[in-house]
């Protein structure tokens, strides 16, 4: 991981993009055909939050696991464990690198996860970045 000057402006830009993309993604009807897009988009929205946390701390990482760890470090209370995002990472990895075709049920679970924990994580991240000097 590289270090650089903390960048709150870029962090907030990532959070805004993540929020907008999540809103859009949650409007997509869940089908076997759309499962690929839904799962990938939801996972990437969480990744953007993790990257925003790191950027606000002056860290740059291309490692997906470090972004997930950044989210975990927020210690936010959620309805489901934050570790469930890692399941999305594994599915997305299978999609992108092994041609895995996800099912509607997996997309439905990703949607439910997003509805249960995304806002809490997003809001906690905004609060954390706002409180940084």
For 29-67, write each residue's pLDDT tens digit.
999 999 999 999 999 999 999 999 999 999 988 788 899
pTM of the model: 0.93
- Look at the block and give the residue holding tokens 């790191």: 54
User: Can you tell me the mean pLDDT for 83-109?
Assistant: 95
**CA–CA dist 8, 80 (Å, integer):** 28
**CA–CA dist 5, 62 (Å, integer):** 17
pLDDT of residue 132: 85
Report the number of secondary-structure helices (H) and strands (E) in the chain: 5, 2
- Best CA proximity match to 43, nearest among 73, 74, 65, 76: 65
pLDDT of residue 34: 97
pLDDT of residue 117: 97
pLDDT of residue 1: 57
The burial class, CB within 10 Å (0-12 / 13-18 / 19+), for 2 is: exposed
- Best CA proximity match to 95, nearest among 42, 30, 54, 52: 42
| 14: pLDDT strictly greater than 60 | yes
- Rounded percentage of the chain residues whose pLDDT exceeds 70: 97
Q: CA 121, 122, 126: angle at the middle one, nearest 5?
A: 115
pLDDT of residue 63: 80
- Best CA proximity match to 50, nearest among 82, 92, 96: 82
At residue 76, what are phi and psi to the nearest 5 degrees?
-90, 140
Collapse the DSSP code of 112 into the 3-class scheme (helix H, G, I; strand E, B; otherwise coil) and give the result. Answer: helix
User: Can you tell me the mean pLDDT for 76-100?
Assistant: 93
pLDDT of residue 2: 64
What average pLDDT is seen over the chain?
Answer: 94
């Amino acid at each position: 991981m590289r270090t650089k000057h903390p960048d709150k402006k870029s962090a907030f830009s990532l959070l805004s993009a993540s929020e907008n993309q999540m809103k859009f993604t949650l409007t997509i009807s869940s089908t076997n055909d759309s499962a690929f897009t839904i799962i990938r988009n939801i996972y990437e929205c969480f990744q953007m939050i993790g990257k925003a946390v790191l950027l606000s701390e002056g860290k740059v990482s291309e490692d997906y696991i470090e972004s997930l760890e950044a989210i975990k470090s927020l210690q936010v209370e959620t309805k489901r464990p934050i570790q469930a995002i890692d399941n999305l990472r594994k599915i997305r990895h299978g999609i992108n690198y092994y041609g895995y075709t996800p099912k509607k049920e997996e997309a439905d679970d990703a949607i439910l996860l997003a509805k249960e924990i995304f806002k809490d994580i997003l809001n906690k991240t905004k609060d954390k970045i706002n409180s940084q000097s």
